[in-house]
Amino acid sequence: MTHDTTHLNRERIFFDPDETIWLFGYGSLIWKAEFDYHERRPAHVEGWARRFWQGSHDHRGTPEAPGRVVTLVESPDTICQGMAYRIDAEILKQLDIREKNGYLRELATLHFPDGSHAEGLIYLATEDNAAFLGDAPLDAMAHQIAAACGPSGPNRDYLFNLAVALENLGADDPHVAALAERVAVHLTQVK
């Protein structure tokens, strides 16, 4: 699959264009919603784990030195907490551009703290996209994140902002916490 998935997402129509839909954010969408929305609520998806396995060639890195950002990987009995936004379907046009580096729109069931649930969308980067980096030793990922920088800023800021946003949600994510700790240690060692 190509790096730029904008055109592929424009063909993935799951909702009527005039409809209001739910969108689940599990990475930068938790703290950096640069789009209009009607409602914002904590939510989670089941059977998915957040992992820094997706390359970022366009936001938190460059084609020569990609950063690492999160995607979801299937993980039975796992809950991934994040933020849900109720948006007009037309907002997906701008999100398709933001999430163009290997992410595709997918349907997911979003669960809310009050016990209710709704069908919504996630942007998912799977291993068959050109920017997928996959798993690596924690120290290697931390080194890459500490060093990478792109048009949206340092990759480490993405990681640290995500760690803070998850803490504010009361979400426990050992993968994100371990990476944030390793990157912080790495940064103190290089000063």
pLDDT in tens, 39-52: 999 999 999 999 99
The token duo for 107 is: 């349907």
Q: Assess if CATH 3.40.190.80 describes domain 6-189.
A: no
Instruction: Identify the pLDDT of residue 99.
Output: 81
Contacts of 20 (CB under 8 A, 6+ apart): 38, 86, 87, 88, 89
Instruction: Identify the pLDDT of residue 1.
Output: 43
Instruction: Identify the pLDDT of residue 92.
Output: 85
pLDDT tens-digit profile of 61-118?
A: 998 999 999 999 999 999 999 999 999 988 888 888 888 878 888 899 999 999 999 9
Distance from C-alpha of 22 to C-alpha of 118, rounded to nearest angstrom: 8
From 90, 99, 106, 127, active-site residue? 99
Mean pLDDT of the chain: 90
Distance from C-alpha of 137 to C-alpha of 177, rounded to nearest angstrom: 15
Q: Report the pLDDT averaged over residues 19-32.
A: 94
pLDDT tens-digit profile of 163-186?
A: 999 999 999 999 999 999 999 998
**Domain parsing of the chain, residue ranges:** 6-189
Q: Report the pLDDT averaged over residues 117-136.
A: 92
- Least trusted range by pLDDT, from 101-105, 135-139, 158-162: 101-105
Decide if 19 is catalytic.
no
Q: Is residue 130's pLDDT more than 90?
A: no
Q: Is residue 20's pLDDT more than 50?
A: yes
Instruction: Identify the pLDDT of residue 101.
Output: 79
